[in-house]
Amino acid sequence: MIEPKYHPGEEILLDYADGSLAEPAALVVATHLTFCPWCRRQVAELEAIGGALLEDEAPEPLSPECLSAMMARLDQGSCPEPEAARPLRLPSIDLLGVPQPLRSYLDAPLSALDWRPVARGMEEVDLGLGRAPVRARLLRLRAGAVVPRHTHCGLEMNLVLAGGYHDQRGSYRLGDLVVDDDSVDHRPVAERGNGCVCLNVTDAPLQMTGGIRRFITQRLRW
């Protein structure tokens, strides 16, 4: 499998590794990890660093009873059992082709979900995660479909699950995770051959910027 070219930034991976990322964003990152050995290594290293920092914290003073019990064990030459290695977080891909972290949020294969049209050539399944204005959803774009030009009031995370899309900055394929903010003004176009299915999380509504499309699409639910 070709490895993804687009990854979450180090800060997002750090938040993921220490468990502080909100559930919708954590779902996107966990799903990206199923495609991306590079990010899996980063997360494993960050978790190892976090574990080492915790171990370096000053220990609680031992009670006299505990101390003498420990000394007795040392006298007997016994060594404490090594702590079991922490399992690496490596989610698997299930047989239906949906990465396992996402699969646990779905009740059917992608093709059998209740897709709702939201714009020309575009459908969505809302995952019902997070609290408004945060939205987590699957987006399905027909081959060649054009998303109206827009920017972002907050952050958007978009992970390609099938097919691909492109904008003026590049092309995005299976496993690519694109993080956009208000510095990005773009007009994504789905692949002509296959269209595109994405896992999409936004923390604010998109802001349309494309002339007459702005007035047309303002009425769409984004």
Q: Which residues bind Zn ion (CB under 5 A)?
A: 7, 36, 39
What token pair was written down for 219? 């009425």
Instruction: Identify the three-state secondary structure at position 207.
Output: strand
Choice between 201 and 208, CB closer to Zn ion: 201
Choice between 7 and 150, CB closer to Zn ion: 7
CB of 48 to Zn ion, least distance (A): 18
CB of 33 to Zn ion, least distance (A): 7
Choice between 122 and 159, CB closer to Zn ion: 159
**Short-list 203, 193, 210, CA closest to 147:** 210
Q: What's the Rg (C-alpha) of the chain?
A: 23
CB of 35 to Zn ion, least distance (A): 7
Choice between 14 and 216, CB closer to Zn ion: 14
CB of 179 to Zn ion, least distance (A): 11
* 98 within 8 A of 106, measured Cβ to Cβ: yes
Helix count (H) and strand count (E) of the chain? 6, 11
Query: CA dist 129 to 49, 200, 210, 214, Å?
Result: 30, 11, 29, 27
CB of 132 to Zn ion, least distance (A): 29
Query: CA dist 103 to 34, 95, 128, 141, 196, Å?
Result: 12, 10, 14, 20, 18
CB of 12 to Zn ion, least distance (A): 10
Positive or negative, the CA dihedral 20, 21, 27, 32 is: negative
Choice between 179 and 197, CB closer to Zn ion: 179
Choice between 159 and 189, CB closer to Zn ion: 159
DSSP structure string for 43-112: HHHHHHHHHHHHHHSPPPPPPHHHHHHHHHHHHTT--PPPPPPPPP--PPB-TTSSBHHHHTT-SS-GGG
